[in-house]
Amino acid sequence: MAKYVAPQFRTHPWSFTPGGAEVVVTLDDGRTFKYDRVKDPEKYIAEVMLNNKNLESIKLDGRVMWAKNGVVCAAQTVKKRVLIPISEYNKRMAA
């Protein structure tokens, strides 16, 4: 069962504003965290991916956006966000 992350535990001020997407992050130890009111979900997902090496999956409004099993994923570079194959993401995380 996903644990809802309340706005007071979030860092972006937009987390207090109604509206936006829901992002659910599952870690490889089975813990699942649900974030709502996400205003820029692609950027949010890219940040989660770049800052966590123990991800199992990420869902956006119920759709799987990334999973260890090979789903294409979003990754952020310094200047832009791009879609990369999961194999490339895994190589980056292993480096």
Q: What is the structure's pLDDT at 37?
A: 92
What percent of the chain has a predicted confidence (pLDDT) above 70? 75
Asked if residue 76 has pLDDT above 70, the reply is no
What is the predicted pLDDT for the residue at 33? 95
- What b/e sequence results for 50-79 when a residue is b if at least 16 CB atoms lie within 10 Å of its CB, and e otherwise? eeeeebbbbbbeeeebbbeeeeebbbeeee
Task: For residue 57, give Cα distances in angstroms to 18, 35, 62.
Answer: 25, 14, 11
Q: Longest Cα pair distance anywhere in the chain, in angstroms?
A: 38
Mean of the per-residue pLDDT values of the chain: 80
Q: Is residue 35's pLDDT more than 50?
A: yes
| Helix boundaries (H) for the chain | 41-51, 86-94
Mean pLDDT of 49-71: 83
Confidence of residue 79 (pLDDT cuts 50, 70, 90): very low
